[in-house]
Amino acid sequence: MNKFDEVLAFYQNPTTQFQLESFRKRVKDFFENNPAFSDHLSVVHSVKSRLKDVNHLEEKLVRKESEKGKEITTDNLFNEITDLIGVRVLHLYFDQFGIIHNEIMKQIDNGEWTLYEPPKAYTWDPDMSEEFEKLGIKSNRKDSYTSVHYVIKPNPKENVFCCEIQVRTLFEEIWGEIDHSINYPVKTDSIACAEQLKVLSKLASTGTRLADSIFRSHIDHKKTKADN
């Protein structure tokens, strides 16, 4: 009898799965069908979502215990493992991020969701850090990609599950996908690969920057044309 069996059984219990699944659908639907995101070009490019695979959960439980000495039980699972539901929101260029962030914060303000922890941005780029700080998002230095993570709950009740929302651009997503293929489940020991991935992360950010610039020029051009 594995010591995590009880937690894993609780996670896989139909009632638990039903609740997680209901909330996953709701959050996904919020990003896919929110009228605030549909101007001539959709603010949200696409949404991916999943419930945590039970094997991955088991690995995480083992890691939590060995690395942090934290024992996960059915009582604290929902508060310790905050990505049982994961929703990833992809957009094309940085200027769209502000709109997405505002809509998420509106959901928090009107009580539809509660924030379980403050939103966190990860980036290696000091300019981006500054942009995030302007929006009131604390920024953490990360060598890899740029991404913003929110952990929300449907309500502040003790022992209600969390949902992790990750917001990033398509360029950053590509970087993440390639990194994942190379470094997961086992981190590569090839120095060359690791170095090239670092370069790719700069390239991805540059892509986002350029996209921003293109869209700003495009909008500006349209405005000038309309004025004349």
Q: How far is the CB of 17 from other proteins (least distance, A)?
A: 11
Q: How far is the CB of 110 from other proteins (least distance, A)?
A: 8
Q: Compare residues 134 and 157 and give the one whose CB is closer to other proteins.
A: 157
Please give the distance of CA 90 from its chain centroid, rounded to a whole number: 9
Q: DSSP assignment of 10-33, as one string?
A: HHHSHHHHHHHHHHHHHHHHHHHH
Integer CA distances (angstroms), 71 to 76, 116, 173, 207, in order = 9, 20, 32, 42
Nearest 5°: the CA angle 41, 30, 159 is: 150
Neighbours of 128 (CB within 10 A): 20
Q: Compare residues 69 and 111 and give the one whose CB is closer to other proteins.
A: 111
Q: How far is the CB of 111 from other proteins (least distance, A)?
A: 4
Q: How far is the CB of 225 from other proteins (least distance, A)?
A: 42
Q: Compare residues 112 and 195 and give the one whose CB is closer to other proteins.
A: 112
Q: How far is the CB of 64 from other proteins (least distance, A)?
A: 23
Please give the distance of CA 80 from its chain centroid, rounded to a whole number: 17
Contact residues for other proteins, defined by CB under 8 A? 15, 18-19, 22-23, 25-26, 111-114, 154-157, 160-161
Q: Compare residues 35 and 69 and give the one whose CB is closer to other proteins.
A: 35
Neighbours of 40 (CB within 10 A): 4
